[in-house]
Structures are given as C-alpha cells and as structure tokens.
Amino acid sequence: MRIQILDPLLANQIAAGEVVERPASVLKELLENSIDAGATQIKIDLEGGGIKGIVVTDNGRGITKEDLPLAFSRHATSKIVCMQDLENVNSLGFRGEALASISSVARVRLASKTNAQETGWEIAMEGRIGEYKMVPCPHPIGTTIEVQDLFFNTPARRKFLRTERTELLQIEEVLRRLLFSRFNINFQVKHQQKILFNVPEALTRDEKEKRIGLICGQEFVSQSIAIEASTFDLAISGWISLPQFSRSQPDMQYFYVNGRIVRDKLINHAVRLAYQDVLYGNRCPGYILFFNLPPDLVDVNVHPTKHEVRFRDSRLVHDFITSTLKESLQQITPQQIVQKTHYFVKPLPQQTPLEMKEDVAVYPIVQSAEKQVTKIEPFAAVVSQPLISLGFALGQLLGIYIVAENEAGMILVDMHAAHERVLYEKLKLQYQANEIVTQRLLVPITIQVNKKEADYVEDKHALFADLGFELARLSNETVVLRQVPALLQSKDVGRMVKDILSDEIEMDRSDRVHHYQNEILATIACRAAVRANTLLTVHEMNGLLRDLENTPNNGVCNHGRPTWQQFTLSDLDKFFLRGK
Ligand code: ADP
Ligand code: MG
C-alpha cells in the first residue's frame, strides 16, 4: 500500500470523532459559538433527541458574508491569531474545528447577519468540501444554525447513538452546564415544539437561585449556601450544599474555570477534602462553583472537548479551593440551616442510611435501670459570641434528645450526635496544636484483644501516642492502657479503646494514611460521646448546648447526621392549625 493524503471530507469526518460524539456534543459546540459571539438571547429547537435536528438561533455578532464559507473550513477561527492569544484565551472556542467537523457528518445550514450588513446570508453545505450554496436571506442581527440528520453519511457512527430519549437526557445535561455558566443569557429550549427550559436572564442572586431551582430542583437551592472568596489572583463564588444535603452520585457538581465547565480530578479532590469532616463516607456534595484566575495561569488546550484543564500551580489552586470551602462550611450557622430548611413542611431528603455507631437497639428502653449518670464537662472558656442561641434545656426526651427552648421556638438536640461533634472538634484543635491534654490512669487497664488488634496496637504505637493514648502490647492477645486524652477520662475507657481498635481494623484505613488522624479522632469522639439513655442533669444539658453553640460544623455530626433541629413557633402553629 502506498501512502496517500486523506480525502479532506474523510479527514474532517475522522477529526469529528474527537468532538462530535452525539447530539449533545453538537449542541455544546453550537452554544459555545453563540456565547463567544456575545449573544444575550439563545433559542434552541430540537427534534428527535437532537438526532433529527438541532436549530440554534442567537442574537450575537453574526458572521459577515465573506466569512461564511470560512467558518466551515478546518483550522479557521476568528478567536485567536497567534500563540500569545492562545495563552490568554478567554473565548470558549479557539480550535476552529467544530463547524468543519459537524458539517462533515450532518446536513448543515447557517444564516447570519452582522450589523454592518443590509441583509443576511444563508449558506448550505453540500457535503463535499469547498462546495456550498449561498443565497440572501432575511435575518435579524445574529446567527441561526441548523444541523440535521446527524451521522447520515457515517452509518457506523450512527449505530452508536442511543434512543432519542437517552440522547435528550444527555442534551439536558449539556444545557444545565451552560445555563449555569451564563446567567446573563436568556435561553429558550424546545423539543418537538414543547418547551423544555425557558430561563430569563438572571442578574441578582435571587434570580440566579431561581434559575438554579428551575434546572436543578428547588431542593438544592434551599439546602445550599452562597459563597464568595478571592485572593490576589484567584476567585471563587457560587453555591455549595449544606452537609445534610448529599447525594450518592456526583451528579450535582458543576465547576467552572473561567466560565468553562471542567471535570477535573484535582478539583474533585479539593472539594472532597473540604467536606470530609462533615460528609459521611462516599456521599457526594452538590455544588455550582465559578473559579476564576488569570488565563495565563491555566492551560485550556489539553483536550479537544476542553473538559480538562491544567493549572500552572495546581497545589495553590487545590489548597485555595479546599480552604475556602472548608471555611465556608465551618461558618454555616445553625441559623442558616434553620432558614434554609423547614422540616415540618418538607422532611429532610431521604439519605441512604448513615452509619450509626451508636447502638440503636437501646433506644426503645425508656425507663431503664441502667441509666447512668455521666458528667459532661461544660466548655471551659466560652469567650467568643455564640453563633446562635440554642436556648435553655427543658429536659430530656426518651433518653435520646434534649428539648430546649430558644427565642424562635423549640429546639431538639440529638444528644449523642451533638456531643460527638463537640468532642471531635475539641480533639482536633488539641491535636493540631500538638497538645492533646492527657490523663494518666491511676490503675493501668489491661485489655483482652485478638491478635490482629494487638498487632495493630504495636504497629501504630506512635500514632496512638500522638493522639494521647499510652497503649502498649503486653502479650499475644493483651494490651495495656496507661494514659488517655483527658476529654475521655470519665468513660469506660477500656471498653472504648477496644471498640476503637475494632472499628479501625474493620475500616482498614491503611491506604489512606493522610487523613488517618482525623478519622481516628472521629472514631474516638463517636465512641466517647454520651450514649442514649444517659441521664443528664439540666446543668449538663445546658453545658452541652453552650458547647455546641461554640463548635464549628455544629449542624451535623461526624457522620453527616443533623445534630439539632429548630421547630419555630410558626412551624408549631402550622402543625396545630392555629390562626387558620
Ligand atoms: P471556533 O469556535 O473554535 O473558532 P468553530 O468551528 O466552532 O471554531 O467556528 C468557526 C468560526 O465561525 C468561529 O471562529 C466564529 O468566527 C464563527 N462562528 C461560528 N458560530 C458563530 C455564531 N453563532 N455567531 C458568530 N460567529 C460564529
Ligand atoms: Mg466553536
């Protein structure tokens, strides 16, 4: 076989493989062009899941008559001229490939008018490269492009298309991404003449949240907070979900870098890290975030579909995102949660069962002789202004909840979850300051364990020491405990250490050494927190309320369960149909 230059049409069709995978990817390219053209109004008409037809009309700059044929040439673009432009690119497109690719695998017509022209012109591509027809055509300033019968001339690729329904779902996802990225654009989307989305321009925060609600569901809006932060070069803003709103799939995560949606491992990791203290296991947070930085600090020319980017200083970006989100999460005040959630009217979204280390089986025992009195140390120094008043305790409910009254109405606190969060945050603070306050036991405790657990103690001796435990192996199946963190002092510490060992071994964290300490601290906090049916005095209950008020992340326990809940007077009135 001799080497020969590919037929240009075939070359384009091959190149189309990279960017034109399905109707959704066609639509993405067309919309990006409209956005780059400065459109403020975009209409989209779809037929047959976009396979039969996609028509996009915009009110952007338009294309001059002379340029119309060029728009369909490969490597022809109006967006960059030289390498320096590429390094500072702020348009979504710049490769000059999309229209050439699309027109090689579908029937394409484009009509356009610029403000300098008297009349618009229409160009229809004939399938062969360089062959087209142009006729004058009335058109307002802007562009209409029509793409029909995707893959009509490449049957092998057409076979890979799914049902119209599935293709439409993909299109909707592309739309969601773009609709969030440009709040200033009015989008009208129809499928088979039926309206899918019609979102007006959204300039204020309320209007934006309304758009998000329309597209993502009101639930996300009501369970998220708006954030904004910037440094000299980096800026981030948007919405992140409260910890109690979580999903099993990462399907409500929108991250934009300089206005371009990206899916990036580094970013995922940064966000996950920010949530790790407040979100249980593999639950996924929801977010819509806009990250901006000078274009020369990010390379967008990494992938043909531009879904990936490369940061010049990825460490910096990663840490900026993590610390900003973490801070925002820590600053969520119970008040915000109260304002955002109305459980009486609308129950918490059903989450998959969250792990409860606490033994649920003991709950129904109300009048139990085993009720034991534990002393909870009230927080030593309450200096800072509490975020919210959780009021004063009225009593204990079924050995599980504290009932309190504050200005707004009634507060229910999950005793165990609340205490767990308080302990965890205290332990973390002490640990980070490298000063876990410890307490030597008067009588060392010998604990029977299995060999695996004893091995583990031997293995992790130094780590336990850092965490405030003096724990050593005595024999094949016994360990001895001589010192514990002072916070745990009043507990049955032998039992607790045994529980912690079995938890840690069961969870097998050997591969995640990085966040090991915090996770062990979380286990300790969970194991040390008051259990159900622990009798607390009113003084102790108030101590816990004050502690909780002054604890970061106080709305949820380490497993993502809510720690407390406000029932306002109007919630209660509604319930009792007062004033109706
Ligand atoms: P790119 O977007 O990478 O430049 P495309 O193949 O998508 O390449 O588009 C080629 C050119 O056609 C663009 O550079 C732009 O000048 C022009 N163009 C395409 N769509 C539009 C539109 N809706 N409005 C104005 N100009 C457009
Ligand atoms: Mg383009």
Cα 258 to ligand 1 centroid, rounded to whole Å? 19
Lowest mean pLDDT among 304-308, 454-458, 473-477: 304-308
Q: Roughly what angle, to the nearest 10 degrees, separates helices 415-432 and 516-528?
A: 140
Q: In what order do the strands lie in the sheet with 401-406?
A: 392-397, 401-406, 409-414, 564-568
| Residue 234: its H or E element | none
What pLDDT, on the 0 to 100 scale, is given for residue 355? 37
Q: What is the mean pLDDT of the chain?
A: 84
Question: For 165-178, b where at least 16 C-beta lie within 10 A, e where not — what string?
Answer: eebbebbbebbbbb
Confidence check: pLDDT of 489 > 90: no
The predicted model gives 556-564 an average pLDDT of 81
Confidence check: pLDDT of 346 > 80: no
The predicted model gives 395-401 an average pLDDT of 90
Nearest CA to ligand 1 atom 13: 77
d(CA 202, CA 211): 7
What pLDDT, on the 0 to 100 scale, is given for residue 383? 41
Lowest mean pLDDT among 165-169, 348-352, 444-448: 348-352
User: For ligand 1, which residues put their CB under 6 angstroms from it?
Assistant: 29, 33-34, 37, 58, 60-63, 71, 77-79, 93-100, 143
Q: Of 206, 183, 143, nearest to 290 (Cα)?
A: 183
Check: CB of residue 384 under 8 Å from CB of residue 390: no
Nearest CA to ligand 1 atom 19: 33
Residue 28: nearest ligand to its CA?
2
Q: Which residue in this structure is represented by tokens 């299995």?
A: 450
Cα 32 to ligand 2 centroid, rounded to whole Å? 6
Pocket test for ligand 1, best of 18, 29, 36 (most atoms within 8 A of CB): 36
Residue 35: nearest ligand to its CA?
1
Confidence check: pLDDT of 54 > 90: yes
Q: Which atom of ligand 1 is nearest to the CA of 58?
A: 23
Cα 218 to ligand 2 centroid, rounded to whole Å? 33
What pLDDT, on the 0 to 100 scale, is given for residue 339? 54
The predicted model gives 229-238 an average pLDDT of 93
Q: What are phi and psi of 116, to 5 degrees?
A: -80, -10
The predicted model gives 292-306 an average pLDDT of 87
What pLDDT, on the 0 to 100 scale, is given for residue 135? 95
Check: CB of residue 481 under 8 Å from CB of residue 464: no
- Cα angle 572, 573, 575; round to 5: 65
d(CA 196, CA 60): 22
Residue 96: nearest ligand to its CA?
1
Cα 309 to ligand 2 centroid, rounded to whole Å? 17
Q: Which atom of ligand 1 is nearest to the CA of 142?
A: 24
Residue 485 DSSP SS3: strand
d(CA 487, CA 466): 15
pTM listed for this prediction:
0.69
The predicted model gives 41-57 an average pLDDT of 97
Nearest CA to ligand 1 atom 7: 98
The predicted model gives 185-211 an average pLDDT of 94
Q: Which atom of ligand 1 is nearest to the CA of 91?
A: 2
d(CA 207, CA 205): 5
What pLDDT, on the 0 to 100 scale, is given for residue 336? 61
What pLDDT, on the 0 to 100 scale, is given for residue 401? 94
Confidence check: pLDDT of 559 > 80: no
Confidence check: pLDDT of 352 > 70: no
Q: Which two tokens stand for residue 302?
A: 């990494």
What pLDDT, on the 0 to 100 scale, is given for residue 145? 98
Q: Which two tokens stand for residue 430?
A: 């002490």
Q: Which two tokens stand for residue 546?
A: 């004050």
What pLDDT, on the 0 to 100 scale, is given for residue 36? 97
Contacts of 396 (CB under 8 A, 6+ apart): 402, 403, 415, 535, 536, 541
The predicted model gives 432-461 an average pLDDT of 87
Residue 16: nearest ligand to its CA?
1
What pLDDT, on the 0 to 100 scale, is given for residue 71? 94
Confidence check: pLDDT of 565 > 80: yes
The pLDDT > 90 percentage for the chain reads 46
What pLDDT, on the 0 to 100 scale, is given for residue 304? 77
Q: Of 33, 95, 30, nearest to 60 (Cα)?
A: 33
- The Cα diameter of the chain in Å comes to 97
Lowest mean pLDDT among 143-157, 511-525, 546-560: 511-525
Cα 77 to ligand 2 centroid, rounded to whole Å? 8
The pLDDT > 70 percentage for the chain reads 87
What pLDDT, on the 0 to 100 scale, is given for residue 347? 32
Check: CB of residue 558 under 8 Å from CB of residue 522: yes
Confidence check: pLDDT of 490 > 80: no
Lowest mean pLDDT among 122-136, 174-188, 231-245, 401-415: 122-136
Confidence check: pLDDT of 524 > 50: yes
pLDDT in tens, 259-297: 999 988 899 989 998 998 888 767 889 999 999 999 999
Highest mean pLDDT among 184-193, 378-387, 570-579: 184-193
| Residue 338: its H or E element | helix 334-340
Cα 89 to ligand 2 centroid, rounded to whole Å? 13
Cα 140 to ligand 2 centroid, rounded to whole Å? 21
Confidence check: pLDDT of 238 > 90: yes
Q: What are phi and psi of 222, to 5 degrees?
A: -75, -15
Confidence check: pLDDT of 382 > 70: no
The predicted model gives 1-21 an average pLDDT of 88
Cα 262 to ligand 2 centroid, rounded to whole Å? 16
The predicted model gives 393-418 an average pLDDT of 91
Spacing of C-alpha 280 from chain mean position: 14
Nearest CA to ligand 1 atom 1: 96
The predicted model gives 417-422 an average pLDDT of 91
Confidence check: pLDDT of 536 > 80: yes
Check: CB of residue 78 under 8 Å from CB of residue 93: no
Pairing assessment for the beta strands 194-199 and 132-136 based on DSSP bridges: unpaired
Residue 103: nearest ligand to its CA?
1
Nearest CA to ligand 1 atom 14: 77
What pLDDT, on the 0 to 100 scale, is given for residue 373? 37
The predicted model gives 328-340 an average pLDDT of 68
pLDDT in tens, 137-187: 999 999 999 999 999 999 989 999 999 999 999 999 999 999 999 999 999
